[in-house]
Each structure stands twice: as structure tokens, then as C-alpha cells.
Amino acid sequence: MKDKEKENTIESTLNQPTDWQEEQDIENSSEKKEDESSPLIKNTILEYTNVDLDRDGNLILSDINITVAEGDFVYLIGTVGAGKSTFLKSVYSEIPILRGEARVMEYELDAIKKKQIPFLRRKIGIVFQDFQLLIDRSAEKNLEFVLRATGWKNRGLINMRIEEVLTQVGMENKGYKMPHELSGGEQQRIVIARALLNSPEVILADEPTGNLDPQTSSQIVELLQEISKKGTAVIMSTHNYTIVKKYPGRIFKFEDGRMKEVVLAKQ
């Protein structure tokens, strides 16, 4: 994929407000709203009730019922074409709700207006399997591109936020490198840093370990679990059952056009 196409893809999943209080973003970036709720009561991030989803007129998933709270770590499992990506795309309103009720944060997806979609997406971090880094610029410049596309203008605040997220993913000394100079695992860490830039309420990770070796895959999942423990919900699709068994999380299986929560048998 050419860099211009990647830019368009990345921009299409981002919010692009023109007037935003960047200083408030910095103040809130390191902590996840600790005073908003009791530690014993988690805020609901996502709730689907009897939802149907289709693509090009073909019903893909029916009667979806799922609730995700802040800090939840959720696996989506199932065969290729079972509907995992369709569900994830519905969360950031790339695929509309056909029937039922769906809410993500304060947005009612079944009645969302087009002008609201960019603001919904600004609260969602997306991790792509194939990285989708712009190969003509450094890791830091990739992150800067996203911040500027989402309304950040102050150079000092931009640099501060980039340093924060690179440190969070253990890449604070490699921001100057070009994508081709980074390993697959390092590139995925940059992608996770990119997803964290605007302090999202939820991260959607579509097969984030699909192109990685087992050891690196484990490191990436450990990083995502650390993020969820700090209050950000993580929804991750995967075919890697070894990962699912090794690292705890809620599990939803996609099969025969349905999505249901399951518990893997202990071995």
C-alpha cells in the first residue's frame, strides 16, 4: 500500500476536530479518570443489544449481545470470515448498525449522525495487523502525523505526548528510526503508541500478533494487558489460541453468524 493510501486509511479512522484543548489532553494523558467512579464500579464502554450487522446486503452477524467495561480485556476468536472484523468496524462506525441498539461511550451507534463519527473515533485507538506505518518518515513523524490530523498544533505539547507514548510502549530510544529499521515487534509497538496518542477509552486490535513470531506475540499481548490494567478497555481479535490460554481475558467466539461468550476448557 502506498504511503498516500495509508495516510487516507489512517485519517479515515481518526477524529479531526479543529478546536481542541491540547493542554487538557496532556493533563489527562497519564491517568485514566481516576476520580470518575468507584474502584468497584466500572464504567460501561460498549454495549450491544440484539444487534444485527450486514455487509453489502448480506447478513454477517445477528443477535449480538455484549457489554464491555473500562479495563476489560476481550478476545474475539473464530475462523476467517466469521465476522470478527465486521464487528470491530461497527464499533468505530465504519459499518452501520442494521438492527438493534448499540452504544460506544456516549454515542448511540444505531442513531449516530455522520458529523459525530470523527469524534467517536477520536476516543478509539486502532491497532492494525499490517502496521500501516508511513514508510517515508520516522516513527516519531508517524506519531506527529496522527496528532496533527486530530487537531494538535502546539509543537511542545506534540513532542511531549510523543515522548510519553513511546516510553509507555518501551520505544523511547527508537523514535528516530524509519519503519524499515525496526523489527516487526518494534513496528507493532509503534502502532500501539499511535493508538494511545489521544488517550482512548478503548483499543481495537485486529489480529495484532498475526505477523509476529511467538515470543514477540507474547510481548505485544503483555503490553496490551498492561494498558487494560490502567483502565483502557482492549478488544483483540486473534487466531492464536496459545495466547488466549496463556493470558486471561473474556472470550467471545464467532460462529455460524453468532457471537457468544465462551470459556475455554482447561487442559
Poorest-pLDDT segment among 36-45, 84-93, 254-263: 36-45
Residue 221, domain member (yes or no): yes
Dist. CA 57–CA 135, nearest whole Å: 36
Q: Is residue 264's pLDDT more than 70?
A: yes
pLDDT above 90 as % of the chain: 75
Backbone angles phi, psi at 185, to 5 degrees: -65, -40
pLDDT on residue 41: 75
Residue 232, domain member (yes or no): yes
Residue 201, domain member (yes or no): yes
b/e 102-122 (16+ beta carbons within 10 angstroms → b) = bbbeebebbebeeebbbebbb
pLDDT on residue 6: 61
pLDDT mean across residues, the chain: 87
Domain range enclosing 235: 3-43+71-93+117-262
Residue 51, domain member (yes or no): no
Q: Is residue 3's pLDDT more than 90?
A: no
Helix (H) or strand (E) holding 127: strand 124-127
Residue 104, domain member (yes or no): no
Residue 133, domain member (yes or no): yes
Pull the grid cell for residue 69.
Answer: 467495561
pLDDT (tens digit, 9 = 90+) per residue, 221-247? 999 999 999 999 999 999 998 999 999
Instruction: Please check whether residue 102 is in contact with residue 109, taking contact to mean a CB–CB distance below 8 angstroms.
Output: yes
Phi and psi based region of residue 71 (left: phi greater than 0; alpha: psi -120 to 50; beta: remaining): left
CATH number at residue 192: 3.40.50.300
Total number of domains in the chain: 1
pLDDT (tens digit, 9 = 90+) per residue, 101-149? 999 999 999 999 999 999 999 999 999 877 889 999 999 999 999 999 9
Residue 124, domain member (yes or no): yes
pLDDT (tens digit, 9 = 90+) per residue, 198-220? 999 999 999 999 888 999 999 99
pLDDT (tens digit, 9 = 90+) per residue, 32-69? 444 444 455 789 999 999 999 999 889 999 999 999 99
Residue 64, domain member (yes or no): no
